[in-house]
Structure 1
Amino acid sequence: MLNTIVLIRTDNFDKAMVALADLVRYGGMRIRGDPRIVPPALSDWAFEKIVGEKPRKRYRAHVVAQIDLPPAKAIGRLRDIHPPAHIIVIPPESPVHKELLRLWGTFEKLKGFHPPKVKRIEQKVEKEEGEEFY
């Protein structure tokens, strides 16, 4: 099963890291692998394809991350937590998702992001499952 991707658009990478931490801490999402930095033009293209209109605001920081929730559930939780960034959920069956995964290895890793600590029991289950991600 493919992971849902979130596109985070914000003023700086510090805010992007806070938004990612909020997804984990308050949204109950798990970040799979390392979040990546994407070029602004690709971010704008993804925004336009998913939202259906051109972005009105220009941002300096554009980050993508894979999460462990289905798109509808992720959108519902995003509405509840209000992170300090503009976040777009990209469903696995979309052409944007396919393109981002194709280019994933070329994106620079977001340095300095460490997900907030999760409970010991969850970490143990994760190790036992030996989950893989792309």
Structure 2
Amino acid sequence: MKNTMVLVRTDDFQKAMVALADLVRYGGMKIRGEPRIVPPALSDWAFEKVVGEKPKKRYSAHVVAQIDLPPAKAIGRLREIHPPAHIIVIPPQSKVHGELLRLWGTLEKLKGFHQPKEIRRESKDEEE
């Protein structure tokens, strides 16, 4: 099974790491493998393909990570937690996902990111 991806767009890599940690801590997601740094042009292209419009704001830090949830569930969790970054969910069957996966080995690893411990999830998810 292919993993869903998230594209994190923010002002600096420290904020990107906080946003990824929030996905794990408060969103109950697991980051698979190591997040990668994405060139701004590739990030803008991915944004445009997934969202359907050109990005309105310029960011200087762009990171992509693979997560362990299906796209719909990931989007729902993102709406609940409001991380300190602009995050786009990239579904596994999309052209963007295929392109990012193809380039994965060439993208620089995000140094300094460590998977935090999961601390808070409502029990409603256990029922699903």
Normalised by the length of structure 1, the TM-score is 0.87
Who is 2:27 aligned against? Answer: 27
For 1:23-45, what per-residue CA distance to the aligned partner results, in whole angstroms no more than 9, with x for missing partners?
00000000000000000000000
Deviation at 1:117, TM superposition (A): 2.3
Asked if 1:53 is matched to 2:71, the reply is no
Name the CA distance, whole Å, in 2 between partners of 1:76 and 1:49.
20
Q: Hey, what does 1:85 align to over in structure 2? A: 85
Question: Are 2:26 and 2:118, in contact at CA under 8 Å, matched by a contact in 1?
Answer: no
For structure 1, which runs of at least 5 residues remain unmatched after alignment?
A: 120-134
Q: Aligned with 1:109: secondary structure?
A: coil
**Whole-Å Cα distance in 1 between the matches of residues 118 and 101 of structure 2?**
26
Relative distance call for 1:48 and 1:80 in structure 2 (3 A) is: same
List 4+ stretches of structure 1 deviating above 4 A: none
- Alpha-carbon distance in 1 for matches of 2:26, 2:96: 26
Q: What TM-score do the two structures reach when normalised by structure 2?
A: 0.91
Size of the aligned set, in residue pairs, is 119
Q: Which amino acid aligns with 2:40?
A: P
Measure how far apart 1:65 and its partner are: 0.2
Q: Which residue of 1 aligns with 2:97?
A: 97
CA drift at 1:115: 1.1
Q: What does 1:61-80 correspond to in 2, within 5 Å?
A: 61-80=61-80
Q: Which runs of 5+ in 2 are unaligned?
A: 120-128
